[in-house]
Amino acid sequence: MPELPEVETTCRGIEPHILQHPIAALEVRHWRLRWPIDPELPQRLEGAVIQQVKRRGKYILLGLEQGDLLIHLGMSGSLRVLNNAQAVAKHDHFDLVFSSGLRLRYTDPRRFGALLWQPRSEVHPLLAKLGPEPLSAEFTPEHMIQVCKQRQAAIKAVIMDSHHVVGVGNIYASEALFAAGIDPRRAAGRISAERLHRLHAEIQRILAYAIHRGGTTLRDFVGGDGKPGYFQQELYVYGREGEACKQCQTLLKSVRIGQRSSVFCPQCQR
């Protein structure tokens, strides 16, 4: 699944091509994604100008005068900026067509993404209860300590909960816990403030670096500008079950935490 750095990379990739451009049409080929696309949306968007491209959690928000167009990439979705001559493929579900002649095309083999509308005066229910952005001033070490206080849940489950902090998905939670030397199974409430300070710092460092490197290239993801990310080459634990730890050569193990596989080093992470 595309995670926060991949979504941020997509935003940065598409922004120069669509910002301040009027929408000529929304062409929908498959109306049922994770949620049905509003049949009135094409009419609402016609002539509207993209005033802002931003991200909230894993949602891409295209800001218009009357509201925001919310796009979620789901499990395997991607956005591409194309010219009008580009042929339509099987899993190309909708195009935003601009007066410039370019198209923003959404492709998703699993159809688990979304195209939603948020009026200017409202906050969409999917965004209303999200926690702070991990690279924002609101996400502080003190916030991390308060969130973990007296919690018996595994620390990995806590930092992946979007009510506490948004966008720390499986890849980056695994990598941050390894960098902080914390076992992903450890109860959040039993981790010292000093170690939580370090985990907070590693979450921010790794996410910022992954964004700089263009996200993590997964089987189904390529950046919005058509360029893949390169952070995958630098993963220490994610996807490396049974391989040797890059720090101590111990074989990495995998456990299930919150329905997700979690790879860790039994020697380096305590």
Pair type for strands 102-107 and 253-257? unpaired
Which of 3, 6, 8, 202 is flagged as catalytic? Answer: 3
- In angstroms, rounded to a whole number, what is the distance separating the alpha carbons of residues 67 and 47? 13
Residue 3 annotated to the active site: yes
- Confirm whether 125 is a catalytic residue: no
Is 151 annotated in some ligand binding site? yes
Q: Are 195 and 155 in contact (CB under 8 A)?
A: no
237-266 burial, b if ≥16 CB within 10 A, otherwise e? Answer: bbbbeeeebeeeeeebeeeebeeeebbbbe
Of residues 102, 92, 114, 83, the one with CA closest to residue 19? 102
Q: Which of 55, 56, 58, 105 is labelled catalytic? A: 58
Count of alpha carbons within 13 angstroms of residue 237, beta-carbon side: 32
Q: Is 127 helix (H, G, I), strand (E, B) or coil?
A: helix
Is 37 strand, coil or helix?
A: coil
The verdict on whether residue 91 carries a ligand-binding annotation is: yes
Binding-site residues for DNA, please?
91, 110, 151
Active-site residue list: 2-3, 58, 260
Binding-site residues, please?
91, 110, 151
